[in-house]
Structure 1
Amino acid sequence: MEYPKISMVIGSYNRLPMLKLCIDAVREELKDTSYEIIVVDGGSTDGAVEWLAEQKDIISIVQHNRGEWLGKTIERKPWAYFMNLGFKCATGQYICMLSDDSLIVPGAIKNGEALFDLMLQQDIKLGGVAFYFRDFPVRKKYAVAVNVGNLYVNHGLYLNSALREVGYANEDYHFYFSDTDMVLKLKKNGYLCIPSMSSFVEHYFEATPEIRASNNDWKKDEDRNRLIDSWKGIAYPESDYDKYKKIVGYWDWHPTGFDDPNNTIQKLIDAHS
């Protein structure tokens, strides 16, 4: 059996208009590439589950993560749990991770794929490629994210076999910092993580703030401390422990900046409104 080159893994919940945009952009971007789309939906009630069921090119996983069932409150599963469902289903050489409130600027995935291919052809042990993104309108400039002194992938590509090797995402984190932890596990196993200078993603930060507020924000400090404590002396020098306790990370801005000729962010804004 021939497997696809790229597996898209997209987390989604109650953002159907944005999800449709995200999917359509992926279809257009990868129309000349072998790919699969895997969407892990958290039990949407806005019609997304029904829409996904009609999409014959999408592998849909519905993991109800809110509400009640049979008189009992459904136990909330962490980000790593539901994303691992998608990661473990992926059959492509590369896994591209996105969220439903993000939209690729045309060329983002293809440029990241080309960079990954080039590095592997040069026998460079590459595990992840981070795309530049911005949380519009909070941040107007594009950046990649750095925690405890290490670049990690917020949106971007992973080598599927490398994720399998390190056991995917750590499900002990409630919601935040598991993506950082996953890249640190890759680095511990000798893999590199680099940015793609020509890959950009728009993330509309003001979309459904009530969903973001429900993402276990009150446990964010616990997750941050777990990351800092777990990787002390491994991913960063012990002497930096107090520094990261105060400020765990920063944005690494794109060195030349980027003006999107496609005005991609406006599509997200229009979908939200």
Structure 2
Amino acid sequence: MKTSIVLLTFNQLSYTKLCIDSIRKYTDEGTYEIIVVDNHSTDGTVEWLKEQKDIRAVFNNENLGFPKGCNQGIKIAQGDSILLLNNDVIVTPNWLSNLSTCLYSAEDIGAVGAVTNSCSNYQTIPIPYKTIAEIVPFAQKNNISNSALWEERSRLIGFCLLIKREVVEKIGLLDEQFSPGNFEDDDYCYRIRKAGYRLMLCKDAFIHHFGSASFSKNRQEFGDILSVNRKKFIDKWGFDPWSPVYTDPNFLYPIEDSISWQTSITTEKTGSPMVKESQPAADPQKICFITVVNDEKVYEKALAHIRQLNIPQGYHVEILCIKNAKSMTMGYNRAIRDSNAKYKVYLHQDVFILNRNLIKDFLMIFEKYPDIGLMGMAGAKTIPSSGIWWESSHRYGQVFDSHTGKMTLLRFNQVENEYEKVKAIDGLMMITQYDVPWREDLFDGWHFYDTSQSMEFERAGYEVAVPKQNSPWCIHDCGVVNVENGYEKYRRIFLAEYMKK
């Protein structure tokens, strides 16, 4: 196995010499080739490179930037894997062998990255050293191959990115629209995952990174490039690479996959009863995801997240899309009539599930506590006299939410045990193990149906709960809530029905 190490240079000869010398010293001979693409250096780099017998070099007559330069190197690479490496790093003992061990440990691993002292994306680890001489002794203790130190990630930073050749052949080269640099690595990582491969961070492979040597002289230019390329990424993929969800290492930002799901699209008709006189027998091994949809583009993102979920052995999933419903209650009652799933997940079209083990987690609670009929991501133990659970001082749960116009982590009181019994939950996602009709007769719009349903479950003798979440199970990208479409009307209906003394 041979690795093609591709470096770009644009001046900064002192960094390049340190990098090349460390590669030669700490990488097994015969396992690599070095390819350097020089972007028109004027500090003696070109002359120095021409003297190196073990380097294959490409000399450009102008600065083509990072993506284009990398692509030039990739095109002439002869290795079984391609390593994109910044020239402002010092590699260390076992760096490449540890990265390669992880890369080839599974067929579905497409690329791996190293940890360092200076990097974004939570790829840094604490370092005790103060001088260059202390780097190697530290790395020797750290760089002991250990699969327990490999973490799957949604993205990896391109300062040290080892990629299988088959991946490059499948998804192509770096997207040169991101020239001169920034976000080309985010784009490439997303394409790798979209092709069905995993990304792994190897905490057993440490290298030193001086950091941003190519851009450090002109911070204003660097900021302008970041802004422009960030917009290019958003335009290309439809989400912000700087969103707190995508950048959080605890979450794997979902992408479309090829899993086959049972999907139904139902068009709601007027005049239908609240529930059927005779409903199908509940299937205890079936879970139904139910969404009332009026924006198919947003719903497609929700589906991508649903299709990433792990399905426990023996269970099967259906997806029910309700279109043209005049209210949430009308659409959800239609789902009760149409699906025989024992477990139903009612979620908004703008809810994106992050917890891949969502099904396993809620099944475990339902099976252990049969008195729980309804669960949600956030809720309150008390309902204030206003009827608005959000105004309660006893709120529990957490969710990434954008109701203020900005995506933030909304975190209430911590659930200490497996769940917290509450009075009402938010309708962003409501999970049931029993069918209780929704009050279509009262709430024929888009507000207070969730608090009403919480009360209906309590009336039916069931508990309502918020489960313990070590980190948020979902994103609710709702934007600023519209309270002009009947909010006050349904609040008064709720008060009259449930808050009478």
- The aligned counterpart of 2:102 is 115
- SS at 2:104's partner residue? helix
CA-atom RMSD, angstroms?
A: 3.1
- The aligned counterpart of 1:92 is 79
Q: 1:26 to 1:150 in 2, by over 3 A?
A: same
Contact residue 150 and residue 235 of structure 1 kept, 8 A: no
Q: 1:216 to 1:190 in 2, by over 3 A?
A: same
- Give the Å deviation of 1:209: 5.5
- Give the Å deviation of 1:48: 0.8
- Give the Å deviation of 1:211: 4.4
Higher fraction of helix? 1
- The aligned counterpart of 2:108 is 125
Query: What is the TM-score of this pair, normalised by structure 1?
Result: 0.71
Q: 1:44 aligns with which of 41, 52, 61?
A: 41
Contact residue 215 and residue 222 of structure 2 kept, 8 A: no
CA–CA separation in structure 1 for the residues paired with 2:185 and 2:33? 22
Aligned-partner residue type, residue 51 of structure 1: W
- Give the Å deviation of 1:224: 1.0
- The aligned counterpart of 1:183 is 189
- The aligned counterpart of 1:254 is none
Q: 1:17 aligns with which of 11, 14, 19?
A: 14
- Give the Å deviation of 1:230: 2.1
- The aligned counterpart of 2:237 is 231
Between 6-15 and 205-214, report the one with greater CA deviation: 205-214
| Alignment of 1:106 onto 2:93 | yes
Aligned length: 223
Contact residue 39 and residue 65 of structure 2 kept, 8 A: no
Contact residue 27 and residue 94 of structure 2 kept, 8 A: no
- Give the Å deviation of 1:27: 1.3
- The aligned counterpart of 2:50 is 53
Aligned-partner residue type, residue 115 of structure 1: C
Contact residue 8 and residue 36 of structure 2 kept, 8 A: yes
Q: 1:184 to 1:57 in 2, by over 3 A?
A: same
Q: 1:191 to 1:88 in 2, by over 3 A?
A: same
CA-to-aligned-CA distance 1:161-186 (integer Å, 9 cap, x gap): 21122111001113110011011111
CA–CA separation in structure 2 for the residues paired with 1:88 and 1:164? 11
Trace 1:252-271 onto structure 2 (pairs within 5 A). Answer: none
The percent of aligned pairs where both chains have the same amino acid is 27
Q: 1:30 to 1:102 in 2, by over 3 A?
A: same
CA–CA separation in structure 1 for the residues paired with 2:67 and 2:401? 27
CA–CA separation in structure 2 for the residues paired with 1:214 and 1:42? 21
- Give the Å deviation of 1:26: 0.9
Aligned-partner residue type, residue 190 of structure 2: L
- SS at 1:118's partner residue? coil
CA–CA separation in structure 1 for the residues paired with 2:92 and 2:14? 17
Structure 1: tracts of 5 or more residues without a match:
67-76, 144-148, 248-273
**Larger relative contact order (CA 8 Å, sep ≥ 6):** 1
Q: 1:93 to 1:206 in 2, by over 3 A?
A: closer
- SS at 1:152's partner residue? coil
- SS at 1:60's partner residue? strand
Q: 1:150 aligns with which of 128, 148, 154?
A: 154
Q: 1:135 aligns with which of 79, 94, 118?
A: 118
CA–CA separation in structure 2 for the residues paired with 1:94 and 1:129? 11
Trace 1:209-228 onto structure 2 (pairs within 5 A). Answer: 210-211=216-217, 213=219, 217-228=223-234
Contact residue 187 and residue 233 of structure 2 kept, 8 A: yes
- Give the Å deviation of 1:141: 4.2
- Give the Å deviation of 1:29: 2.2
Aligned-partner residue type, residue 172 of structure 1: Q
Q: Which has the larger radius of gyration?
A: 2
Contact residue 29 and residue 110 of structure 1 kept, 8 A: no
Contact residue 128 and residue 153 of structure 1 kept, 8 A: no
